[in-house]
């Protein structure tokens, strides 16, 4: 198939585009800057790596979106505004309006398969998730602008599903690995500066997803998107190895050569502090992301792990890299 991968200059997007290419598909990428896969540094062009070409543009440019989907048979849509803070209107423009634009353009162009890359946060309302399946996205109850707009975008994508335009939503949970500047980078930076507390005892069970497993899950979703009983559905994807959040943070810190967190803060205090920080950030935003938000406090203090049986059965997929092997790879990359 000829497959468009949006957001391929990002950590997961680049891994996904490479995995789709390695699975034998012809890949086109679409993002604001070159993906790094095509050998093209500043402009669109034919790749010096077989099967990959870049189209540069933004999700808010309808003409660029239409050019990107022209002639492709399938889309894996990862492009999004991902942040703990920012102008709410920016989240709407990129995540909601951008998804609506590419869904419409893809249908007009005759695309047959559409994989929407979502997030478990679209159905997280603040309480623990213990062995949960993929609950319906709830924009009105999701926490934070990112989660709310991704929830709305998922509903737009799944609402377009039909036998001629098969849509699957994949919700990768806390993707990490070497080169990750989001989860791993933030953990390492905060640990190095002593700003990475454990909330309560750090015993809340959470699951994560190693980046290679996330990319292979996207390929599996692409391959099986048109299957009866698969299209029109959402799937949470994890490693299926829930561990205490304190153990995971310690493992990432040790692999990265920084001290593991030792400071414990009551979760209730962190949630209140997160709400206050969010309020201040809306009035006087800092140069970086806020050190704590209510959503982040909830994520660090409540269990969130998911039943993977339906995901693995329907997508015919299993993770190939364990958490321990992933940590070993992280340590090797850190030198």
Mind telling me the catalytic residues? 146
Query: Angle at which helices 245-256 and 183-192 pack, to 10 degrees?
Result: 80
The set of residues, in sequence order, having a beta carbon less than 8 Å from that of 132 and lying 6+ positions away, is 236, 304, 305, 306, 307
CA distance to 31, 48, 63, 75, 218, per residue, from 38 (Å):
12, 6, 22, 18, 20
306 vs 84: CA distance, rounded Å: 23
Q: What is the DSSP letter of 74?
A: E
Q: What is the DSSP letter of 123?
A: G
Beta strands in 173-281 (DSSP E): 175-176, 198-199, 205-206, 209-210, 234-237, 243-244, 264-265
β-partners of residue 74 are 3, 113
């Amino acid at each position: 198939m000829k497959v468009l991968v949006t957001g391929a200059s990002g950590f997961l997007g680049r891994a996904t585009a490479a995995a789709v290419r390695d699975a034998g598909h012809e890949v086109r990428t679409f993002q604001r800057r070159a993906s790094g896969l095509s050998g093209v540094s500043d402009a669109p062009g034919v790749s010096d790596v077989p099967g990959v070409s870049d189209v540069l543009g933004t999700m808010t440019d309808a003409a660029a979106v239409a050019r990107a989907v022209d002639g492709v048979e399938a889309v894996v849509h990862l492009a999004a505004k991902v942040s703990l803070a920012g102008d709410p209107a920016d989240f709407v423009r990129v995540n909601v309006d951008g998804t609506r634009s590419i869904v419409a353009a893809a249908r007009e162009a005759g695309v047959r398969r559409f994989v929407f890359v979502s997030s478990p946060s679209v159905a997280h309302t603040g309480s623990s998730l213990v062995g949960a399946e993929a609950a319906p996205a709830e924009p009105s109850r999701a926490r934070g602008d990112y989660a709310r707009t991704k929830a709305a975008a998922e509903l737009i994508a799944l609402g377009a599903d039909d036998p001629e335009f098969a849509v699957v939503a994949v919700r990768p949970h806390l993707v990490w690995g070497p080169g990750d500047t989001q989860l791993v980078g933030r953990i390492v930076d905060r640990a190095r500066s002593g700003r990475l507390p454990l909330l309560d005892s750090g015993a809340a069970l959470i699951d994560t997803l190693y980046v290679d497993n996330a990319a292979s899950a996207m390929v599996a979703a692409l391959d099986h998107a048109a299957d009866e009983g698969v299209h029109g559905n959402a799937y949470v994807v994890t490693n299926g190895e829930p561990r205490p959040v304190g153990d995971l943070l310690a493992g990432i810190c040790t692999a990265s050569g920084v001290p593991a967190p030792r400071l414990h803060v009551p979760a209730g205090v962190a949630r209140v502090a997160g709400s206050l920080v969010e309020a201040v950030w809306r009035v006087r935003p800092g140069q970086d992301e806020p050190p704590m938000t209510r959503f982040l406090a909830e994520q660090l203090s409540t269990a969130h792990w998911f039943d993977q049986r339906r995901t693995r059965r329907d997508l015919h997929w299993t993770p190939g890299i364990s958490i321990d092997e992933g940590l070993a790879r992280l340590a090797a990359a850190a030198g």
